[in-house]
Amino acid sequence: MKRRQFLQNTAAGVVVPSLINGLPVQAYSNTSLLHNLFAPGVDTDHVLVLIYLGGGNDGLNTLIPLDQYANYVSARPNIYLNSNSLLPLNGQNKLALHPAMKGFQTLYNENKLNIVQSVGYPNPDYSHFRSTDIWTSGADSNQVLSTGWLGRYLNTEYPGFPLNYPNAKDPDPLAVQVGANLPLLFQGPNAQMSMNVSNPDIFGAWPNGIDDPASNDNYGKELDFIRTIGRQSKSYADALLNSYIKGNTIANYPAGNYLADILKAIARIISGGLKTRLYLVSLYGFDTHSDQVMVGNKSTGVHANLLQSLSDAVLAFQRDLEALRLDDRVLGMTFSEFGRRIKDNVSGTNGAGGTDHGAAAPLFLFGKNVQPGIIGSNPVIPAVVNEYDNIPMQYDFRSVYNSVLQNWFCVKDPALTEILIKKYQDLPIVKKSNCITDTSDLNSLNDSIDIQIYPNPLVDRTTIQARVVDGYTIIQLISPMGVVLKTIHKGKLNAGSHSFDLENEQYPSGNYYVRIQQGPAQKTIPLMVLRP
Amino acid sequence: MDRKDFLSIWKENRLENRPSPLAGLDPYNGPWTQKQALHLLRRLLFGVKKSDVDKVVSQGMANALKDLLTVDPIPSPPVNVYSTTQVPDPDVAFGASFVNAPINASLPPEYYQARTDVFKAWWIGNMINQKPTIAEKMTLFWHNHFAVEADTIQIAQAMHQYYKLLRDNCLGNFKTLAKLVSINPAMLRYLNGYLNSKAAPDENYARELQELFTVGKGPDSKFTEDDVKAAARILTGFRINPLVMPLTYYFDFTQHDDTDKKFSSFYGGKTIYGRVSILGEYELDDLITLLFENVETARHICRKMYRFFVYYEIDDQIENQIIRPLADYMIQQKFDILKTLYHLFSSQHFYDNASIGCIIKSPLDYAVGMCREFNIEFPKYVNDVTLINQYLAWGGIASLAAYQGLSIGEPPVVAGWQAWYQQPQYHEIWINADSLANRNRVAENINSPNGVQFLTVTLKIDPIEFASQMPNPRSAFDLVKDSVSYLYNHDLSDKSYNYFKSFLITGYPNDSYWTLAWEQYAGNPTDPVLKNAVSTRLSALYKEILSQAEYHLS
């Protein structure tokens, strides 16, 4: 990302001084008295580092489905990656990584990477802003929430914030944003709960000054807001600076890599003892409508540079955490507002290609305590693709949040449902956490359910044969744009086979999907619709 | 009281029981004092000069609005202050303007960057030197609304053209402006319109045209993905002609999709019929007409104007009593921007006491505003060196505002700056520990003997000049009170005035020490010792006034 953007994007909330060379950092504290009292035995020093890939990352050129390579090439004549340039993953012969992602390949092969396939939400929105709001707030696509999922999480642990914060028990910021720009993510019901960081020496003392009571109107509201930020900034700034001075880093980070500089600063403040538990950093530039690749060498170009920055920075960060013996405490996760269309275009210099806004895409989690492996199956690329075809969701992004909250931060109901508003699947994303007593292999779970569709294509009518285990089951019909068109079944099913009829309700011809979900298991099967 | 009770009381006080400004759009006929004049000027300009307030108070609201709602001519264009004798710009001599320079592929790339930087500095210079009219503020409004990023455009000539388009039309007709923006080369480049073809439709502009520029995404705006696709097909074929200056679009009908385009029920299920050959470009007019026939377009732009000029919270009452009537009025006036704004700025609602001072200053309101309020002296053109210094100073203010979150010419995304669209925080996004600390550092430096330095240029407040504008500077209390009433929005308690006054009489038992020092200085203004005695105290006072939360509100 451009340095300029970094500087100007200091987000709302409390900002902490930059730790090095003017780099801003934003942090959240983990020592919750409530948490310690009511959740005894739970490890409270877990840290989550979120990496936002701004603009909508092209999942299909990030993780390439080798079992559909021919269809992939014909859908993307301008930007497809040569199969011999792709990076293989141990034990996986159906997919491979973009050639620029050597760092992620290494992490995967060391069992420190988890990939969740086709993460999205029902009824995708193709607006950057709306979709970013959906991802950061955790809303349904037809719902507007004015708080963020992590803001709500923090509010359950620090319900009084910002009143009487910081204090002796919680001296550190609750969350830190480094050059990120997503105020909604950490917006709590009462206040913005995150802090941004910039240059340490700009923190003069907030003047004692005047303190006339704030009037009870819009003017008073904003006056009060500015005064509160002023009071908090000073002590959070000191806390961050002290941790930075006490901390250190060991590993070599790649030079000229903006994300690496920030992750290095974060490793350092964690090693210096900052009790902040949530960090948000971002890397912008993924909105690759045009010039996604370089003509002549498609494994280079804008997208390749971004993926390389990401993957190199994350590997260096992980190495640093290992050397600092902090790797047990830190989990990382990428996310982006959406993926991109299956079909490419010819936008760009000398006819270089690009892609339009899309739907689901893979999401990456890294760290010593991830459950290594790949969750879900490759997206299906139809033989004939039109420009509106999209990759349907296999996993709701809130199932990922649910799993992180439950299994990394040990959040239990009723707080969990309060934060996420509804119940979601629990995915095995985190391995050795104290909160997880048994981990099951999701993909073997996935094998316990199955769907057969006959006839396929659907012309007038077809039958869906579902083989399930005992439990609550959802079966959905998903459109080529990734929209849930119809819930075919929702409710408890007994173990065994069940049949469901599906009629062609004037659906336009195209590549549809049927998705089944039972507990943490799910499958998504393509269904072609032919308009009679 | 436990924490929870305390919290709920705090929350209620802060959020639940605030009275909304009640008055509606009927014409304001209340008192017209410095308070109302300052309020109007602060919202329409970047900072207010003392002479502007005095004039507007004496003019009365109607005459003042007539003057303020005009567009003065754009100052002479930005010039080459970047080339050196060793590396001359082959197309533009030093001191000459580059805005019509040919597009030259062999020009060293750093010159493209330098021209853009100079253009941005010049833009800020126009704000600093603004006449008392809304033109610059309104241009920023449109820059935020029809956002393009200079970083993407890269060609300063195109950015200058774009600035000119927005400024020339800033009070004109919204519908006309939307059409002109759609075919402007900078916008065609920014949202890939120039690559949109029937073989490979690109939805980028079609989406933002609806979601951000016209109907918006309000609760009742229900355009569909198919509407985006239909609009994208209408917009196929527009290209940029890069060889002639100024840059223009042209229409390549071989790239245009001339089939019919059907829209959803949100647009009344209308079809825009395909037009063949060179007539295809007129489908854009049909599209603009369709978008502006929809009531959501007027409501969307009225909400944005309200958030920019009045306050960011729009509850049901504001929506029903202000936004919708204003939108209806705008439709009735056929999207005349000037008339719509006049209606808003002459309303009871706008001058309601609860509307005054509730906007958090944007970084430009803060930085440019401070320069203008305090009449900070900028280098003037005398020779090549002062010319460079002039641009350095303007560029310095640009970088200062950029550091605080608003980089002119570079909105972070096509939606503009978050403070003007991101619920629920809106304007509060301008203030965080980083930006607030930065603002306080600026207040400290600009009141210090060394001032704020940008390479060879120093900017600082002359506190004596400022104090001399006040009616009674010899009285410490009056000077404080008058300075505060000019720099803040609302009166303070005597306790606070006395706190500020302590900076003028530090260490001495009563006000007469200040009066004596001021009178001694006034009697012999060239004596450096006497002058220093008052200026150091005044600098401390103004630094303190500028460091309070009250100063960040407008």
A500 and A433 both lie in a single domain: no
Percent of residues, chain B, with pLDDT higher than 70: 96
User: Over 80: is that where the pLDDT of A4 sits?
Assistant: no
A331 and A385, same domain (yes or no): yes
- The per-residue pLDDT for B17 is 54
Query: Is B105 an interface residue toward A (CB < 8 Å)?
Result: no
Are A345 and B200 an interchain contact pair (Cβ–Cβ within 8 Å)? yes
Looking at the complex, report in whole angstroms how far the Cα of residue A219 sits from the nearest Cα belonging to chain B. 4
Contacts of A107 (CB under 8 A, 6+ apart): A113, A314, A315, A318, A366
Grade residue A15 by pLDDT with cuts at 50, 70 and 90: very low
pLDDT at A24 over 60: no
Contact A222 B493 (CB under 8 A): no
State pTM to two decimals.
0.73
Predicted confidence (pLDDT) at residue B395 exceeds the cutoff of 90: yes
* Residue B495, SS3 per DSSP: helix
Closest chain B residue to the Cα of A159, Cα to Cα = B4
| A239 & A352 share domain | yes
> Closest approach of chain A CAs to the CA of B93, in angstroms?
29
Task: Tell me the range of A322-336, A429-443, A510-524, B443-457 where mean pLDDT is highest.
Answer: A322-336
Interchain CB contact of B314 with A (< 8 Å): no
Residue B406, chain A, CB below 8 Å: the answer is yes
- For chain A, the first-to-last Cα distance in angstroms comes to 49
Q: What residue numbers bound the domain in which A293 lies?
A: 3-439
pLDDT digits (tens, 9 = 90+) for A197-233: 654 333 333 445 688 889 989 999 999 999 888 877 7
Confidence bin at A16 (pLDDT 50/70/90): very low
Which tokens belong to B16? 């639940």
Q: What is the model's pLDDT at position A181?
A: 64
DSSP B387: H
Residue A433 has a pLDDT of 57
Tokens for A288, please give them: 């690759």
| Mean pLDDT to the nearest integer, A429-433 | 73
- CA B97, CA A387: separation in Å to the nearest integer? 45
Residue with tokens 């019901």: A189
Summarised one tens digit per residue, pLDDT across range A104-151 is 999 999 999 999 999 999 999 998 878 998 999 999 998 888 889 999
- Who contacts A398 (Cβ-Cβ below 8 Å, separation ≥6)? A121, A138, A149, A420, A422, A424
B311-359 per-position pLDDT tens digit: 999 999 999 999 999 999 999 999 999 999 999 999 999 999 889 999 9
Q: How far apart are CA A241 and CA B187, in angstroms?
A: 43
pLDDT at res. B219: 87
Same domain as A392, residue A511:
no
Tell me how far apart the alpha carbons of residues A150 and A186 are, in angstroms, rounded to a whole number.
5
pLDDT grade, residue A31 (50/70/90)? very low
CB contact under 8 A, A159 and B4: yes
Would the CB atoms of A15 and B313 count as touching at under 8 Å?
Answer: no
- Residue in chain B lying closest to A165 (CA): B3
pLDDT surpasses 70 at B415: yes
Determine the residue of chain B that is closest to A210 in CA distance. Answer: B496
Which structure tokens are listed for A129? 């802003």
Q: Are B194 and B188 in contact (CB under 8 A)?
A: yes
Q: Is A128 exposed, middle or buried (0-12, 13-18, 19+ CB in 10 A)?
A: buried
Alpha-carbon separation of residue A103 from A49, A262, A315 (angstroms): 17, 17, 5
Provide the pLDDT for residue A218: 93
Number of CB pairs, chain A paired with chain B, less than 8 A apart: 222
CB distance B245 to B157 below 8 Å: yes
Q: In the prediction, which pLDDT does B18 show? A: 62
Residue A29 has what pLDDT?
A: 26
- B13: confidence class by pLDDT, cuts 50, 70, 90: very low
Is some CB atom of chain A closer than 8 A to the CB atom of B358? yes
Per-residue confidence band for A34, with pLDDT thresholds at 50, 70 and 90:
very low
Examine the domain organization and report whether A481 and A375 are in the same domain: no
Q: Which residue has the tokens 């904003």?
A: A222
| Res. B241: pLDDT tops 70 | yes
Residues A106 and A150 in one domain: yes
> Which pLDDT does position B305 carry in this prediction?
98
Please determine, for residue A344, whether its predicted confidence score (pLDDT) is greater than 90.
Answer: yes
Express each pLDDT in A294-333 by its tens digit. Answer: 998 999 999 999 999 999 999 999 999 999 999 999 999 9
Neighbouring-strand partners of residue B416: B413
CA distance A355 to A291: 9
Pairing of strands A14-17, A194-198: parallel
Q: Which of A16, A128, A217 sits opposite B433 (nearest CB)?
A: A16
User: Cα(B159)–Cα(B157) distance, rounded to whole angstroms?
Assistant: 5
- In chain B, how long is the greatest CA-to-CA distance? 87
Q: Which of A33, A44, A489, A54 is nearest to A285 (CA)?
A: A54
Closest CA to A241 of A201, A195, A277: A201
Residue A11 has pLDDT above 60, yes or no: no
Out of A439, A473, A498, a domain closes at: A439
- From the list B554, B126, B139, the residue with the least C-alpha distance to B368 is B126
* Pairwise CB contact (< 8 Å): B429 & A198: no
User: For the residues B68-92, what does the mean pLDDT come to?
Assistant: 91
Q: What ipTM was reported for this prediction?
A: 0.91
For residues B151 and A122, give the distance between their C-alpha atoms in angstroms, rounded to a whole number: 35
Residue of B194, B238, B255, B434 to mutate for A, most A C-beta atoms under 10 A: B434
Shared-domain flag, residues A284 and A406: yes
Share the mean pLDDT of chain B: 92
* Cα–Cα distance for residue pair B395/B121, rounded to 1 Å: 4
Position A10 pLDDT exceeds 90: no
Average pLDDT over residues B423-446: 88
Are residues A171 and A138 both part of a single domain? yes
Q: Which whole number is the average pLDDT over B81-91?
A: 85
Q: Could you tell me which of A239, A193, A133, A189 has the C-alpha nearest to residue A11?
A: A193
Whether the CB-CB separation of A383 and A526 falls below 8 Å is answered with: no
Query: Is it the case that residue B22 has pLDDT exceeding 90?
Result: no
pLDDT of residue A159: 78
According to the model, what pLDDT value does residue B184 have?
97
- Residues of B with CB below 8 A from A202's CB? 434, 437-438, 441
Selecting from B225, B228, B405 the residue whose C-beta is nearest the C-beta of A10 gives B405
Residues A510 and A384 in one domain: no
Tell me how many domains chain A contains: 2
Angle CA B536–B538–B542, to nearest 5: 120
Using pLDDT thresholds of 50, 70 and 90, give the confidence band for residue A72: very high
List the single range of A165-174, A275-284, B225-234 with lowest mean pLDDT.
Answer: A165-174
Q: Which long-range contacts (CB under 8 A, 24 or more apart) does B5-14 make?
A: B6/A160, B6/A163, B7/A159, B7/A160, B7/A163, B7/A190, B10/A163, B11/A190, B13/A216, B14/A221, B14/A224
| Phi-psi domain of B58 (left: phi exceeds 0; alpha: psi -120 through 50; beta: other) | alpha
User: CB-based contact (8 Å) between B429 and chain A?
Assistant: yes
Residues A353 and A496 in one domain: no
Residue A64 CB-half CA count within 13 A: 26
Q: What is the pLDDT of residue A506?
A: 86
Of all residues in chain A, the one with the smallest CA distance to B398 is A8
Q: At A197, is the secondary structure helix, strand, or coil?
A: strand
Highest mean pLDDT among A308-322, B394-408, B420-434, B526-540: A308-322
Q: Which of B278, B255, B250 is nearest to A345 (CA)?
A: B255
pLDDT confidence bin for B12, thresholds 50/70/90 = very low
What value does the mean pLDDT take over residues A393-415? 93
Q: Which residue has the tokens 């659907």?
A: A458
List, for residues B281-293, the tens digit of each pLDDT value. Answer: 999 999 999 999 9
Residues A208 and A313 in one domain: yes
B526 to chain A, closest Cα gap in Å: 33
- Residue B457, pLDDT > 60, answer yes
Q: Using an 8 Å CB-CB cutoff, list chain A residues near B548.
A: 207, 209-210
What Cα–Cα distance (Å) separates residue A118 from each residue in A319, A361, A378, A403? 28, 4, 8, 16
Residue B86 confidence (pLDDT): 76
Q: How far is CA B323 from CA B290, B298, B307, B518, in A?
A: 21, 9, 11, 51
Cβ <8 Å between B433 and A206: no
Task: Lowest mean pLDDT of A309-323, A364-378, A431-445, B308-322, name the range.
Answer: A431-445
Let me know whether A428 and A483 are in one domain: no
Residue A5 confidence class, pLDDT cut points 50, 70, 90 = very low
Of residues A4, A181, A204, nearest to B444 (C-beta)? A204
pLDDT at A443: 63
Q: At what angle do helices B337-345 and B61-68 cross, to 10 degrees?
A: 150
- Which helix H or strand E contains A265, and what residues bound it? helix A258-271
* Confidence (pLDDT) at B9: 37
Q: In whole angstroms, give the CA distance from residue B216 to residue B209.
A: 8
Chain B, nearest residue to A237 by Cα: B433
Residues of A in contact with B489 (CB under 8 A): 219
Examine the pLDDT at A44 and tell me if it is beyond 60. no
- Taking the Cβ of residue B207 and every Cβ of chain A, the question of whether any pair is shorter than 8 Å is answered with yes
- How confident is the model at residue B21, as a pLDDT? 57
Domain boundaries along the sequence of chain B: 192-293, 464-552
Question: Confidence band (pLDDT; 50, 70, 90) for B2?
Answer: very low
Of the partner residues A9, A187, A356, the one whose CB lies closest to the CB of residue B424? A187
Q: Which residue has the higher pLDDT, A484 or B14?
A: A484
pLDDT band at A432 (very low <50, low <70, confident <90, very high): low
- Closest Cβ–Cβ partner in A127, A163, A164 for B207: A127
Cβ-in-10-Å burial (0-12, 13-18, 19+) of B545 comes to buried
**Residue A503 maps to which CATH number?**
2.60.40.1930
